[in-house]
A and B are shown apart, each in its own frame.
Chain A
Amino acid sequence: MNSTNRGKRKIHIAAADYIGLALVLVGLVVVFSLSTKYFFTPTTFRTIANQIPDAVIIAVGMTFVLIIAGIDLSVGGILAVSGAVLGVCLVQFKLPLAIAVLACLAVGLLCGALNGLVVSRWRIPSFIVTLGMMEISRGAAYLVTHSETKYIGSAIEVVGETSVLGLSLPFLLAFAIVIAGQVVLARTVFGRHMIAIGTNEEAARLSGINVAPVKLAVFAICGFLSSAAAVIHCSRLASADPNAGNGFELQAIAAVVIGGTSLMGGRGSVVSSFFGVLVIALLGTGLAQVGAQEPTKRLITGCVIVAAVILDHYRHRLQEARR
Chain B
Amino acid sequence: MRKFGMLKALISLLCVILLAALITGCARKSVTTEAGKPRIALIMKSLANEFFKTMEDGAKAHQKRHASEYELIANGIKDERDVARQIDLVEQMSAQRVNAIVIAPADSKAMVSVCKKALDAGIVVVNIDNKFDSSALAEKKVKIPFVGPDNRKGARLAAEVLVKKLKPGDPVAIVEGAPNAYNAIQRKLGFEDAMKAGGMKIVTSQTAYWETDKANQVASGIITEHPDVKGILCANDNMALGAVAAVKAAGKSGKILIVGFDNISAVQELIKNGAILSTIDQHADKLAIYGIEYALDILRTKKSPADRETPVDLITAETLR
Contacts and interface: CB of A to CB of B under 8 A. Distances in A.
A170 to B, nearest CB: 11
B211 interface: yes
A38 B227 contact: yes
Contact of B266 (A38, A149, A288, A289): A149
A175 interface: no
A38 B224 contact: yes
A318 interface: no
A243 B212 contact: yes
Interface string A145-164: 01111110100010010000
Nearest to A235: B245
A291 interface: yes
Contacts of B213: 233, 237, 241, 244-246
Contacts of B245: 236-238
Given A148-B264, A243-B211, A285-B220, A237 B50 contact: no
B241 A149 contact: yes
Nearest to A145: B50
B270 interface: yes
A288 B217 contact: yes
Interface in A1-58: 36-39, 41, 43-44, 47, 50-51
A47 B242 contact: no
Contacts of A50: 249
Contact of A244 (B212, B248, B249): B212
Contacts of A38: 224-227
Given A38-B225, A150-B266, A51 B220 contact: yes
Interface residues on B, range: 35 or more
A236 B246 CA distance: 9
Contacts of B266: 148-151, 239
Nearest to B265: A148
Given A237-B212, A294-B207, A289 B241 contact: no
A44 to B, nearest CB: 5
B270 A151 contact: yes
A36 B222 CA distance: 11
B244 interface: yes
B42 to A, nearest CB: 16
Contacts of B179: 294
Contacts of B268: 151
A291 B225 contact: yes
B134 interface: no
A244 B238 CA distance: 11
A285 B53 contact: no
A149 B245 CA distance: 14
B169 interface: no
Given A47-B224, A47-B250, A237 B206 contact: no
A147 B50 contact: yes
Contacts of B225: 36-39, 288-291
Given A243-B211, A288-B220, A147 B49 contact: yes
B270 A149 contact: no
Contacts of B48: 142, 147, 242-243
B224 A43 contact: yes
Given A142-B48, A147-B48, A239-B241, A44 B212 contact: no
Contacts of A241: 212-213, 238, 241
Contacts of A150: 266
A243 B209 CA distance: 12
Given A236-B249, A288-B217, A151 B267 contact: yes
A18 B222 CA distance: 31
Interface in B290-304: none
Given A149-B238, A151-B270, A236 B53 contact: no
Contacts of A243: 48-49, 211-212, 238
Interface of A: 36-39, 41, 43-44, 47, 50-51, 142, 146-151, 153, 157, 160, 233, 236-239, 241-246, 284-285, 287-291, 293-294
28 contacts: A37-B225, A38-B227, A43-B224, A43-B250, A146-B53, A147-B48, A148-B266, A149-B50, A149-B212, A149-B265, A151-B265, A151-B266, A151-B269, A157-B248, A236-B245, A236-B249, A237-B216, A237-B241, A241-B238, A242-B48, A243-B49, A243-B212, A285-B220, A285-B224, A288-B217, A290-B225, A291-B225, A293-B206
Interface of B: 47-50, 53, 179, 204, 206-207, 209, 211-213, 216-218, 220-222, 224-227, 238, 241-242, 244-245, 248-250, 264-270
Given A243-B212, A291-B225, 11 more contacts: A146-B53, A148-B50, A148-B53, A149-B265, A237-B213, A238-B248, A246-B211, A288-B220, A290-B225, A293-B206, A294-B209
Q: Sort A-B residue pairs by CB-CB distance and give the 9 closest, nearest first.
A: A288-B221, A151-B266, A289-B225, A147-B53, A149-B266, A148-B50, A289-B221, A291-B204, A237-B245
